[in-house]
Amino acid sequence: MARYKKKRARELQHDAFRDKTMSALDSVGNKLEGKGRTILYVLAALVALGLIFGIWSWYSNRKKQEAYRALGRAIEISSATVSASPAPAPGATGLTYTTDKERAENAIKEFQAVAAKYDNPYRDKAKYFIATNKLSLSEKRGEGISELDALGKSGDEEISTMAKFALAQAKEEDGQFDAAAALYIELAQKNSALLASDTVNLRLAGVYEKQGKKKEAADILFKIVETARKAKDAEGKPMTQSAAARDAAVKLEKLDSARFAQLPPEEPQANFPT
């Protein structure tokens, strides 16, 4: 008897749920009665929007991959081998150009095609490479410097940093040491993840050395090496020194051996790359 009552109670609850559900559906049906065509239009619009979004997403991804390939192709040209022999050496792979000028001109054309066809971030990246390739062409070097200066003001942090660093090196090569130093100092203070301050400060020390500012150069080199030698990881072990820190130690020893001798001793590094 008790089991029957429990079973009957469940049936009544089920019936009540069914009645409520059907009542709700009937209510919705009554409200939508006579609006079947409108509903079909709405459903059709939703389907159309879904298709449009799917097509747009597919097209966007396709364009992105296309832009990556185009930019990669242009970079491949700009970094191709330069050989006096027009024919590549036996077993050699990849592109080969007979002169730096020929390579730069071909790279510029390829990057210009990317900049003309694709939006950012690909356009500004292509413009950066156009400018840097122009630096190797005497007749277009001025254009390249002006373009790097403009890109240095870009709202894109990556492009801005890359452009300023390339511009600083161009200024240094042209003997405009004060301008180069100002750019290096600005970049070093930012300590961007894209460009480590040690790398920039190493270049800055080189500029000071060219200006005859031996003490300023030695101070920078000393700080780079000292910081690297004192750095510890979470376990208290010496950190692996960067290539810039190792180069700074070599340069400091040549520039000022007495100052080099004041550095803390270099501890064995268990995680030193082999």
The 10 Å CB-count burial string (b at 16+, else e) for 111-133 is beebbeebeeebbbbbbbbbbbb
For residue 8, the model assigns a pLDDT of 44
For residue 165, the model assigns a pLDDT of 95
CA gap 54, 60 in Å, rounded? 10
- The torsion angle over the Cα atoms of residues 137, 140, 143 and 144, rounded to 10 degrees, is -10
How is residue 88 written in tokens?
Answer: 């590549």
Q: pLDDT of the chain along its 274 residues, tens only?
A: 444 444 444 444 445 545 554 455 455 455 545 555 555 555 555 566 665 655 545 556 777 888 888 888 888 998 889 887 755 555 555 688 999 999 999 999 999 999 999 988 889 999 999 999 999 999 999 999 999 999 999 989 999 999 999 999 999 999 999 999 999 999 999 888 889 999 999 999 999 999 999 999 999 999 999 999 999 888 888 888 999 999 999 999 999 999 999 999 887 755 544 4
> How many Cβ atoms sit within 10 Å of the Cβ of residue 105?
18
How is residue 252 written in tokens?
Answer: 């400091």
With helix as H, strand as E and coil as C, how does 59-105 read?
HHHHHHHHHHHHHHHHHHHHCCEECCCCCCCCCCCCCEECCHHHHHH
